[in-house]
Each structure stands twice: as structure tokens, then as C-alpha cells.
Amino acid sequence: MNATRSSATAGERAALAECKGIWKRFTTDEVETVALAKVDLCIRENDFIVIHGPSGCGKSTLLSLLAMFDTPTAGTYHLKGKLANELSLDERARLRNEQIGYVFQSFNLLGHLTVFQNVELPLTWRSMKPSERKERVISVLERVGLSHRAKHYPSQLSGGQQQRVAVARAVAGSPAFILADEPTGNLDSKNAEGIMELLHQLHAEGATLIMVTHQLGFGAKATRWVRLSDGRVVSTDRQAPTPTDGIIAGTELRK
């Protein structure tokens, strides 16, 4: 994508997505969980934002709202100027398919489809020629080092391989907005670095990247670090947080 977009300052770049006063409550068996509490977040085009914080603090819930898989209990969410609450399920699905590549924390691969078919599936919802689809799937599987597994089923793969397929599926359509929920969480360091290289490249080409991770070392190139705690944004940093910023050492800073 163009250099102007990448080199523009944050103030000049258009808002791609904006959360204002977002609350998300889950009620199950009379237990109410406040997963997000009054979250404000403005995401500009070509941002690379790392979202971090302890387990259960609301990171996946926030990502899922950004992709419009779910709607807030209160507050507003705009994506590309459109108010999520006013869109029908079909409109949300279309916008998601056109704009968003989502890497699920738990992969969500379809067990009855091969690796190739899993990666191809979102492309079949677009008007794309079968030959172009095939080319894209082959190329992205090569990129994540799994072309030799194209005919395998998810159950025949390790957790790390499934995660790489999940990343391939998310980016095969060259989405403008990539939401990745702990995309390196199951990978050894070599494969994790390979996936980060791919995400960095897409960001350098103009994509907007939101990544949830405990492994802050992988977010070294981020433009913003947003920390959640008990559903609230407790800090927004322009530089990678360090252990002295009060973050518990250990898994969070593991490289």
C-alpha cells in the first residue's frame, strides 16, 4: 500500500474504528460478569496496537466487539463510520468479510475441511475467481510454512500448526484491519518470529493491526500499548512497557 498512508502522523490518519464508553456485561446463571467497563479506544488507519493485561481482563471480549461478532451492552462502536448497533447481521458479516482478518485465540478451524479449504473459505464469500483463490491460498500457506499440509485436516495438526493455519486464513484476503488474539501463543520462537514477520509486513503495507499478546517482546514494533485490567483501560503507552511499569514479570514479558 502507499507510503503516504504509512508515514502520516496519528493525528492525520483517519479513524478506522472507535469505541466510546463501551460496557460489556455477561449474565449467566445469575452471575453477572463485567467484561468491559467504559472503554474508549480510537483506532486510526495503519495503527499497530498491542492489547495486554492479565487473563480474564477482557482482551478477547474487546477484540470480538471490534470485529462485530458481538455488540456492546452500552456505549457506541463505529467501524468505518458505521454504527455497529445499527447494522443487520448480514451487513456486519459483509463488512467483516471485506475489511477484517481475525485470528481466533482458539483457532476456530472447521474440522471437516482441509487446511486448504479452511484458508480458502473466507475468499469464497467474495467475488474472486477460483484461480486467484487458489493462488492466494498456496502463497499464504507457503508463507506460514504449511504448504505440505494443505490436504490435512485440523485434527491431524499440532496446536502450533493449527494456529499458523488460523493466521493464514485471517490474512489470505489481504484485509485492511487485522485482529489477532494471541497469534503466537502456541508457537515455538522460530515459528512465532515467522508469524510476527508476516504481520509486520502486512502492517508496513498499510494494514491496521490490533494484537492481543502476553509476549510483549513480539509487540516491539507497535505504535501503542493498551493495558486492560478488570475490563478497564488502565494505561496507553507509546513505548513498550517494562517490568518497572508494574507489569508482572514472567509470561507477559517472555519473548
- The site for Mg ion (CB under 5 A) is made up of 59-60, 105
For ligand ADP, which stretch binds (CB under 6 A), given 49-57, 73-81, 125-133, 194-202? 49-57
CB nearer to ligand ADP: pick between 7 and 32: 32
Query: Residue 232 in contact with residue 35, Cβ under 8 Å?
Result: no
* Minimum distance, C-beta of residue 103 to Mg ion, in the bound complex (Å): 12
Q: Which three three-digit cell numbers place residue 48?
A: 499497530
Q: Which residues, numbered 28-47, are part of the site for ligand ADP (CB under 6 A)?
A: 28, 33, 35
Question: Within the chain, what is the greatest distance between any pair of CA atoms?
Answer: 52
60 or 99, CB closer to Mg ion? 60
d(CA 151, CA 113): 9
Residue 233 in contact with ligand ADP, rule: CB under 6 A: no
Nearest approach, Cβ of 102 to ligand ADP (angstroms)?
14
28, interface contact from ligand ADP, Mg ion, none, CB < 5-8 Å by kind: ligand ADP
Residue 58 is a binding residue for ligand ADP (CB under 6 A): yes
Instruction: Give the shortest CB-105-to-Mg ion separation in angstroms.
Output: 5
Q: Helix (H, G, I), strand (E, B), or coil: what is residue 38?
A: strand
Q: Using the rule CB under 6 A, is 61 a contact of ligand ADP?
A: yes
**From CA 193, how far away is CA 220, in angstroms rounded?**
12
DSSP string, 86-111: GS-HHHHHHHHHHHEEEE-TT----T
Query: Other CB atoms closer than 10 Å to residue 145's CB: what's the count?
Result: 15
Using the rule CB under 6 A, give the single segment among 52-60, 73-81, 119-127, 130-138 that binds ligand ADP: 52-60
Cα–Cα distance measured from residue 209 to residue 198, given in angstroms and rounded to the nearest whole number:
12
- In three-state secondary structure terms, 42 is strand
Task: Note the residues at the interface with ligand ADP (CB under 6 A).
Answer: 26, 28, 33, 35, 55-61
